[in-house]
């Protein structure tokens, strides 16, 4: 599932604090702290970039979220994959195959396109 706004806010605040620590370590000449705070800034920036995906965020009813959690726990499959499959199955009830755009994907070798 996508991260909540409060979690993103906490990561941004932590990155700002780490950046202030990095600047202070650079000014005071503490090489060890420069390495630690620099690593923190890089890791937090990578986390923020990774969480900002192109996926659309939706709000689900609490009973559906509970179902996703139970299903994920019992199957070991990520909640995202279960939700994607459920939405695709629901959509398939309303859309015929000729209404769907034709996508193609490549084989693992990259030789020939395979229709989906």
Give the model confidence (pLDDT) of 54-69 as tens digits. 567 778 889 999 999 9
Phi first, then psi, for residue 70 (nearest 5°) are: -65, -45
Across the range 16-20, mean pLDDT stands at 95
pTM of the shown model: 0.47
- The chain-wide mean pLDDT, for the chain, equals 81
What confidence category does residue 113 fall into, taking pLDDT thresholds of 50, 70 and 90? very low
State residue 13 phi and psi, 5-degree precision.
Answer: -65, -40
10-19, 65-74, 75-84, 101-110, range with the lowest pLDDT: 101-110
Q: pLDDT value at position 48?
A: 85
What does the alpha-carbon distance between residue 16 and residue 48 come to, in Å, rounded to a whole number? 12
Task: State how far the alpha carbon of 70 is from the alpha carbons of 4, 35, 67, 73, 87, in Å.
Answer: 20, 42, 5, 5, 17
């Amino acid at each position: 599932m996508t991260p909540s706004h409060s979690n993103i806010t906490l990561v941004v605040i932590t990155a700002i604090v780490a950046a202030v620590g990095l600047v202070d370590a650079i000014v005071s000449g503490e090489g060890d702290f420069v390495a630690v705070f620099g690593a923190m800034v890089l890791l937090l920036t990578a986390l923020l970039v990774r969480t900002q995906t192109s996926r659309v965020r939706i709000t689900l009813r609490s009973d559906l979220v509970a179902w996703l959690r139970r299903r994920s726990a019992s199957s070991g499959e990520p909640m995202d994959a279960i939700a994607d499959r459920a939405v695709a199955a629901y959509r398939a009830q309303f859309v015929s195959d000729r209404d769907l755009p034709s996508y193609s994907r490549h084989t693992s070798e990259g030789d020939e396109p395979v229709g989906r």
